[in-house]
Amino acid sequence: MKSIFHTSLLFMRNGATIVGLITAVLFQVFFNFIWLSGYDQVNARMTQLAVTIVNEDGNEAEPVAKSLATNLDFEIKPSGSMEEARQLLTDRDVYMIIEIPSGFMQRAGDLSRPVSVKYVMNESNVATVKSVMQTVSAQVTAALNREVQQNSIHHMLDQSGMAAEQANVLAQGLSSRVEADVERVNPVQNFAFSMVPMLIVTATFTGAMLLGMNLQKVSGELSSKTGKWERFWARNMINLGAAFIVSLVGASMMHLMGVSSVDGWWMLWLFQWLITLTFLFVAQLSLLLLGNAGAWLNSALLPLLMLTSGSTIPRDVLPDFYQQIGHYLPATYAVEGMMNLVLGGNGIHRDVLLLTVIGTSTLVLGVLYTWIRRSVPARSDMSLESKPAETPAVMAGNLPSPDHG
């Protein structure tokens, strides 16, 4: 027992153990703070999801359309035609189209047959959106039933002088005359496929964090043998090769599990390669700027990327602070692109462009930092370059990295 206790003390005296304990604690701090603050009051903010109402029945149905827009507890975006509305839906600027079809009011007055309202939903979204929009369609149908019922009663009273009691009896048969005609764009038959965007963000950035930490350690161990530029570009050559291999394995696994891309497997692989390389550059920049402490910054980035990317809930219902941050983080465009590729959408050109911009920017910042650090008059860096490190490798986690000036 004494030997076990003594060995435990030896573990605790090692800097790597302390760093590991701090990292475990910080994961709890980061995930709890970022996720609980980001998801706070999400249900109340579901009204920020946007829908659009298209009135194809002209002026006659305008009061009905205005009544729906007023009473729906969701953001209403205007659209003048179904073509415009479908584009908004494909771009995920709205999450459902409510179409009042041509001749709706005329058919509503015909008591011999039901009248339908069309709902168009884009299932190339997180599962939360599908559930919420189904609830909205049921609410709208019920509201239209009440509206049609009221108009029909008034019409009959005006035309035939029917007594109010008789009208109320007849109204019970009119209460369910409006039917929902639901069209699903990009239908998702397998729930697992809708989880692919979140899988990509979580698995890829976690892998990028771990690879970056190990490359940082190796770079420190090689500081007495090679120059900073050689180590910097060697790291990025390894990043390039790692992105190739990791994305190839990931895309192949998805193919084996039945996940397909609307643009073919090759495009799925190449896009995942771009995502992986960008994540590697982002994780690397944290380590270059902060040394081994950059691993803690990456630990904070992981929950932030997952939250702001829109892989779990729509970004529209996040607090404004997190929505704004999401515009500058690569996971947002990784998720959007994966949704477009796997679930269907408007193509990945914009996502490829923005991922390339972010990846290139982080690489350039890494180059600039390496150049500036070399321009600083030699002090500790020179001593580290000129002699082998005396600190054991296991202690590297507790000391600034030689690559961090």
User: 184-237: per-residue pLDDT in tens?
Assistant: 988 888 888 889 999 999 999 999 999 999 999 898 888 888 888 999 999 999
**Structural tokens at position 262:** 């609307």
pLDDT the model gives residue 397: 46
3-state secondary structure at position 347: coil
The pLDDT score that the predictor gives to residue 13 is 83
- Predicted confidence at residue 349, as pLDDT, reads 95
Q: What is the secondary structure of 185-217 as a DSSP string?
A: ES--S-HHHHTHHHHHHHHHHHHHHHHHHHHHH
Instruction: Assign 390 a pLDDT band (cuts: 50, 70, 90).
Output: very low
Has residue 396 got a pLDDT over 50?
A: no
* φ and ψ of 35, to 5 deg: -70, -45
Q: Looking at the DSSP assignment, which residues form a beta bridge with residue 99?
A: 54, 118
CB 341 within 8 A of CB 365: no
pTM across the whole model: 0.82
Interior/surface letters 54-75, b for 16+ CB within 10 angstroms, e for the rest: bbebeeebeebbeebbeebebe
Give the mean pLDDT of 36-53.
89
Per-residue confidence (pLDDT) for residue 171, from 0 to 100: 55
CA distance 358 to 282: 8
pLDDT of residue 167: 58
H/E stretch holding 31 reads helix 15-38
**pLDDT band at 144; cut points 50, 70, 90:** confident
Instruction: Work out the end-to-end distance of the chain between its first and last CA atoms, rounded to an integer number of angstroms.
Output: 43
Mean of pLDDT values over 35-45 = 88
**Spatial distance between the Cα atoms of 275 and 254, rounded to a whole number of angstroms:** 15
pLDDT in tens, 244-283: 999 999 999 999 999 988 889 999 999 999 999 999 999 9
C-alpha–C-alpha distance, residues 28 and 22, integer Å: 10
- What is the Rg, in whole angstroms, of the alpha carbon atoms belonging to the chain? 29
Mean pLDDT score across all residues of the chain:
84
Please report the pLDDT score of residue 381 as a whole number. 43
Q: Where is pLDDT greater, at 64 or 99? A: 99
CB atoms within 10 A of CB 287: 26
Q: How high is the pLDDT of residue 206?
A: 95
Label each residue of 117-180 as H, E or C.
Answer: EEEEEECCCCHHHHHHHHHHHHHHHHHHHHHHHHHHHHHHHHHHCCCHHHHHHHHHHHCCCEEE
Residue-wise pLDDT for 69-93, tens only, equals: 888 888 899 888 899 999 999 999 9
Which residues make Cβ contacts (< 8 Å) with residue 28, sequence separation at least 6? none
CA distances from 179 to 53, 148, 371 (A): 17, 12, 67
Task: Specify the pLDDT at position 385.
Answer: 42
Beta bridge partners of 184: 121
Contact in structure between 398 and 19 (CB atoms under 8 Å): yes
Q: pLDDT at position 256, please?
A: 94
- The dihedral formed by the CA atoms of 134, 137, 139 and 142, expressed in degrees to the nearest 10: -130
**Whether the predicted pLDDT of 179 surpasses 90:** no
Least confidently predicted of 37-51, 118-132, 377-391: 377-391
* The pLDDT value given to residue 335: 95
Give percent above pLDDT 90 in the chain: 45
What is the per-residue pLDDT across 289-331, written as a single tens digit (0 to 9) for each? 998 889 999 999 999 999 999 998 999 999 999 999 999 999 9
pLDDT at 209 (0 to 100): 94
Cα–Cα separations (whole angstroms), residue 364 to 53, 240, 285, 367, 370: 46, 15, 10, 5, 10
CB-based contacts of 101: which residues, under 8 Å, 6+ apart?
56, 57, 116, 117, 118
pLDDT at 323: 93
Residue for token pair 């081994």: 292
Helical pair 228-256 and 349-375, crossing angle rounded to 10 deg: 160
Residue 93: the pLDDT is 92
